[in-house]
Structure 1
Amino acid sequence: MLAAGCTPSDASPASASTPGRTASASAPADGPTPGVMTLFKDSAFNFNGLLALGASGYGAAEVGEVLTAVNAINKAGLSAQTYTETFRKLGDQLMGAPQGSKPGTQTTRFRALRAAQYYGQALFFVLGTDDPGSEEQLYKAGRGAWDKFCELSDPAPVKADIPYGKTPLPVWFFRPDDSAERRPTVILTNGSDGQNVDMWTYGVSAALERGWNALVYDGPGQGQLLFVNQVVFTPRWETVVTPLVDWLAARSDVDTGKIALTGLSMAGDLAPRAAAFENRIAALVAMPGVLMPWLGFPPEIREILTPDKAKTNNIWNKEVVPQLPPSAAATLKKRFEPFSVPAMLDARAGKMFTDFYTPATLIQSLDITNVVGRIKMPTLVLDYDDEQFYPGQPRQMFDKLTAPKDYVKLTRATGAQLHCSPMAPQQHCEVVFDWLQEKLRGR
């Protein structure tokens, strides 16, 4: 049952798909996703590879580097081990000196950005390797590359730690220049398994090109807060965004009437939740619209959860876990770690978590169906041809909105299909920022 529930229809029985950034991306010509480039026969790895390839449009990858890594992985035999080792090695190479003359600042800067991408690629599958305990170290390598890129930017983003409970939120505030001009500002919210470099691809670069400020941050369940501070997701995302808005509102270079909020992947649930309670947000973009993240899990997984914790965990530990193939086990470890510190620590120790009930209940609590009606600001809901994780939910969110609203579906006609348009982030950003500029014009 679990093998079927964790495996996309176009993958082999031993391959398991993962959420947020991983999906059924490889398909035959007459399948549901025609036109998708096949880098790997396994759809989970293929989707992540497509994200890396697409990021090259914003300098966060290099086509030749990605395709060379793909060839090396396929030649060695595709697995979490070969994927992680290959991309980790590529990140290490880029953080070292290039061949030839001494690198200039811009060379070092963008090599660090690409390294952050490749470390992120490796991090995504590390729990399925023979060294899952290196997860935190690999995250820190990617974070170090990101910080190097930021340090060498001109102007460098303002770094700060914004109070949030017992663990501050790390933020990076990008500006087109240091003139202190009051500018529209976008708060970029990552999903359940993205890294800071993804926010460069899905918003920062596009914002700076258009004269906007952009705020990148790690919230609970993300980046530093997850991998280092061990803080998991919260269903009350307004408690995360409100301190960010407070911080922005105190700055003289922010036009407080033009603060926008975007949410990528599962943050298509988080950002609308925050906007329902934070009225200083002037415009909202859900990419895609997500009402119930729990429905992004296969029904065979959801059926394990019962109202009784002991019963649920008994089913999980005695009936499910013993039957899981290794690839499905690795997938579930990855899927559940942002919602459970014990699950994350068990995964790093090479073990399967034993408490299914607690993280599953937390994921279920992210349902925002009954709060979408509170949203008052103009809202753009994105959808994608062949959306894999939340099919139908963007349209359902759009229908429930009572605020001024627009719905846009990115399509396979221009290669922008699949969750978050992995092959077309530039098209993605064009749609988002054209809409934002139109809605905030004259405010």
Structure 2
Amino acid sequence: MAGEVKKMSVRLNFFENDGFDFQLMRSIGLNHYGGASIGECLSTAKRIRDGDVVSWVDEWNATARMIEEEADVFRERDEIISARDSYLRASMYYRAAEYFGFFSEPSRRENWEKSKECFQKAAKFFEALCEVIEIQFEDMKLPGYFIKPEDDLKKRPTLLIMSGFDGTSEELYFYLGAGAVARGYNVLLFEGPGQVGPIHMYPEKPFRPDYEVPVKAAADYALLRENVDEECLALVGFSLGGYFAARAAIYEKRIKACVVDSPVIDISRYYEGFEHIEELAKIKEEDYEELFSENPFIRWAVETFTRRYGTKTISEALDKIKEFNIVSDLDKITCPTLALVGEGEGDEAIFQTQRFYEGVSGSKALRMFTEKEGADSHCQITNLSLMNAAVMMWLDGVFSK
């Protein structure tokens, strides 16, 4: 029997809807590295009707457009730093709008495209060199960014950073990308099949259990670059990326260190810990149309979950997810590994983190972030500074930097 899966123990209580409350915290948490203004986030949240996904999308889009227009004015006046900062915030507000959008409507993709566009406008004004890249993978081109501290060919330790179910490469910049580059690392931010960018571009290419295959393509790309130290190549996975990265580390031995936040070793069991998942799975496909018109939140949940896994129903998706299991292969992870989890993520997340830590055979470390530290949340979104410090100090030790 799976334990509960949560996002955090400390709530804002701005919304009664748990999902809305966490997603607001997720946006606010990006402020440390310039991805949000607390005031802009709270002003937006105040206009949103609790639990109304259409209202959420409309209001975050309105804020994003306002800040983008502000950035355009700054750019026209050669106020480069102000333009950069505003484009970064606009990018993340468009991302927030994308999150609760419907795949069956064009606005969801439009918000993703605007998020990407604003980030790329900001990136032109970074002190570091940020390249927009595409990684050839099978018949797809995976989107991403390669960021290096200086415009030179000096070999540096390099992080391959990936998100999970609903994060983007642009958001990853604020999670760990900016902090790693500031500490002298190269960073490759990328997305694979089923993730936000690729699922918009290639809707017929959902999540796949053998995620070592797209990760291999990312490693191939990185190791072709002259400024990447092949002995200091690390893979970092956030959220569901805790499965993708761990799976890849089993097979891809060019990965010299792996960070998983948090480890997910059995996705089927992990989802069992989600509130309402059993009720959603019982809904029959023939009942979707009527239910969707009555309850847009359920429409969003079903559309999002089934699109990611390439199925027609939640029940079919949960059957497919049983293939996403690495419990019996953990001992094949031999590179140094860091497992992270927040104590507010629920019993199941903590259980799978502990099982992962016990199962890997290489050198390893485990860090549980606490409520007292203000970092007990999923992916430590409430204290990204502390998470960055923990990850980068560990990597510096592994690579003797």
TM-score, with normalisation over the residues of structure 1?
0.81
SS at match of 1:297: helix
Of residues 204, 207, 211, the one that matches 1:233 is 207
Deviations 1:70-109 (A, max 9, x none): 2222xx5552122111110111112213578925122222
Match runs of 1:266-285 below 5 Å: 266-285=240-259
Of residues 426, 438, 442, the one that matches 2:385 is 426
Deviations 1:125-160 (A, max 9, x none): 1129xx834211221111111221223323431233
Of residues 108, 123, 129, the one that matches 2:83 is 108
Unaligned runs of 5+ in 1: 1-8, 10-18, 26-32, 306-311, 344-352
Match runs of 1:37-436 below 5 Å: 37-73=12-48, 79-97=52-70, 102=77, 104-127=79-102, 132-230=105-203, 231-298=205-272, 301=277, 316-317=284-285, 326=295, 327-340=297-310, 353=312, 355-356=313-314, 358-388=316-346, 390-436=349-395
Separation of aligned partners in 1, 2:42 and 2:199: 30
* Residues 373 and 424 of structure 1, relative CA distance in 2, 3 Å threshold: same
Contact 1:97/1:103 (<8 A) preserved:
no
Match of 1:348 in 2: none
Separation of aligned partners in 2, 1:39 and 1:103: 38
- CA-based RMSD of the aligned residues comes to 2.6
Contact 1:276/1:372 (<8 A) preserved:
yes
SS at match of 1:376: coil
Contact 1:292/1:366 (<8 A) preserved:
yes
Separation of aligned partners in 1, 2:286 and 2:47: 39
Separation of aligned partners in 2, 1:173 and 1:77: 38
Match of 2:396 in 1: 437
Deviations 1:34-83 (A, max 9, x none): x433232211001011011110000011111111112222xx55521221
Unaligned runs of 5+ in 2: none
Alpha-carbon offset, residue 428 of structure 1 = 1.0
* Residues 59 and 304 of structure 1, relative CA distance in 2, 3 Å threshold: closer
The residue type equivalent to 1:258 in the other structure is C
Deviations 1:253-291 (A, max 9, x none): 111100011000000000011111111111001100111
The residue type equivalent to 2:301 in the other structure is T
Match of 1:16 in 2: none
Contact 1:203/1:214 (<8 A) preserved:
no
SS at match of 2:173: helix
Greater shift after overlay, 202-211 or 296-305?
296-305
Separation of aligned partners in 2, 1:205 and 1:195: 14
The residue type equivalent to 1:140 in the other structure is E
SS at match of 2:284: helix
TM-score, with normalisation over the residues of structure 2?
0.89
The residue type equivalent to 2:171 in the other structure is D
SS at match of 1:382: strand
SS at match of 2:98: helix
Alpha-carbon offset, residue 358 of structure 1 = 4.5
The residue type equivalent to 1:316 in the other structure is K
Contact 2:335/2:363 (<8 A) preserved:
yes
Separation of aligned partners in 2, 1:155 and 1:205: 9
Aligned length: 390
Alpha-carbon offset, residue 298 of structure 1 = 3.7
Alpha-carbon offset, residue 294 of structure 1 = 1.9
Alpha-carbon offset, residue 318 of structure 1 = 5.9
Contact 2:264/2:270 (<8 A) preserved:
no
Contact 2:144/2:189 (<8 A) preserved:
yes
The residue type equivalent to 2:89 in the other structure is R
* Residues 384 and 124 of structure 1, relative CA distance in 2, 3 Å threshold: same
% identical aligned pairs: 22
* Residues 141 and 273 of structure 1, relative CA distance in 2, 3 Å threshold: same
Alpha-carbon offset, residue 202 of structure 1 = 1.5
* Residues 81 and 103 of structure 1, relative CA distance in 2, 3 Å threshold: farther
Deviations 1:385-442 (A, max 9, x none): 1214734111111111111111110000111112112211111111111111111117
Alpha-carbon offset, residue 371 of structure 1 = 2.0
Contact 1:60/1:201 (<8 A) preserved:
yes
Match of 1:14 in 2: none
* Residues 72 and 258 of structure 1, relative CA distance in 2, 3 Å threshold: same
In proportion to residue count, which structure has more helix? 2
Separation of aligned partners in 2, 1:79 and 1:285: 36
Separation of aligned partners in 1, 2:354 and 2:50: 40
Separation of aligned partners in 1, 2:232 and 2:271: 36
Contact 2:102/2:303 (<8 A) preserved:
yes
